[in-house]
A and B are shown apart, each in its own frame.
Chain A
Amino acid sequence: MSTVESTATDNPELDLPSTPKKTSSVDTKKIVSDGLWNNNAVLVQVLGLCPLLAVSGSIVNSLALGLATMFVITTSNIAVSMIRNYTTDTVRLPVFVMIIASFTTCIEFLMNAFTYELYLVLGIFIPLIVTNCAVLGRADAFASKNGVFASALDGLMTGLGFTLVIVALGTIREVLGQATLFDNMHLLFGDIAQNWTIHIVDDYKGFLFAILPPGAFVIMGFLLALKNIVDKKLKERATALADKPVSGSRRVRTTGNIS
């Protein structure tokens, strides 16, 4: 009744903690689902599109670039996570870029050594992994705030999510563009993969559009749409199952409690 109660500052509900702070414990399941689906680097954050659209003309190219990116994300995440307590906020980005560049150089040399033809095919897009926003994004958003194991897992899952999407894109483009599957896989897997090529349609005219970047954009658009449709369906199901929140449960009385 008194005015003491009616001032906002005295309201006991005010002292409730705001949104719970992120705990340091590792939610493995969440990291996996975020990386692969819920917060997929390509389908949700729409990051790293430059190599994605340029290189995903065939499965083998996609797979190679995806694996390389996965390697860089994972290793750079680990490295960033290890030094996270020693870098100040102002210099963190240059440091992260330096780390990522180092690992990218590693993978470039490795590919040069072991998959030389693929190295030639992918060309500039291997060094360009440095500029892949997904890599820097994970380093800054996750690895710089979490432990080594969690960061490694996050890097692996983000990279895997990226790889899955780029391979899916490569598959569709390869099928549409030249009606084959697993063409040229020997570039990546060596001679045992020489005969992996599957020809789906004989005497296919070739659909150049699918191979060219505009085709990648269109197919990418359809993949995004598909993801949104699936999410919508999932959400509908979830809301159907979920309990209705109690009306007014969150309400705070700005004028205090009137008894």
Chain B
Amino acid sequence: MTDDLSAVFSLVSMAVLFGSALGYAAVKFATDDDPIADQVDALLPQTQCGQCGHPGCRPYAEAVANDEDEINKCIPGGEDTIHAMADLLGKDFIPLDAEESDVVDVPMVAYIREDECIGCTKCIQACPMDAILGAAKQMHTVIVDECTGCDLCVEPCPVDCIDIIPEKVTHTTWAWPQPDGVGITPGQLIPVRNIA
């Protein structure tokens, strides 16, 4: 009988001890804000394009952080972003959930064909970055440095004068390509003109 009692006693006291430790930890280390969402938000490209089905990058980050949406919805971010989010959240990589098959992984910018622009200002209102300059009845132009290529301005344009084109590669933005890999001879043969 004393054995039973001592067993009960020791279990109860252990329960009390660990329980209070847990309770203390729960109070002490409580987190009120959601740092995960901030971290996820930092990984997103901030194009605010809405292609993920959320109105902006921050809401999508919150949805991902709260496990309400998959990590593969960010089309401008591409696979790199999915990998980064998978690493951050300890999830498995899943391929990009692209609705469009022609998703290209190069930075894009909007370009307004200025002689066709009628100056309706609709694109200006559509631009989440305030990256389009212009006034009513004046043709508009895109500030390339600010444009994220989200293509939200394309649809509202009544005369379809906005194109989303790949960002032009310059000497400063150009980077060496990755070599082709094992089994391939490096380099490329280039026909040369103007040989003496």
Contact = CB atoms under 8 A, between A and B. Distances in A.
Nearest to A2: B125
B35 interface: no
B100 interface: yes
A231 to B, nearest CB: 13
A245 B53 CA distance: 14
A249 B53 CA distance: 9
Interface residues of A, number: 24
A248 B51 contact: yes
A248 B100 contact: yes
Main DSSP-derived SS at the B contact region:
loop
Give the one of A1, A8, A11 with max B CB within 10 A. Answer: A8
Nearest to A91: B19
A18 B100 contact: no
Interface in A124-145: none
B122 A254 contact: no
Contacts of A18: 63, 68-69
Contacts of B22: 90
A256 to B, nearest CB: 8
Contacts of A252: 50, 52-55
B175 interface: no
B103 to A, nearest CB: 10
Contacts of B48: 254
Contacts of A245: 99
A246 interface: yes
Interface of A: 1, 6, 8, 11, 13-14, 18-19, 90-91, 94, 245-256, 258
Interface of B: 15, 19, 22-23, 26, 48-56, 59, 63, 68-69, 73, 99-100, 122, 125-128, 152, 155-156
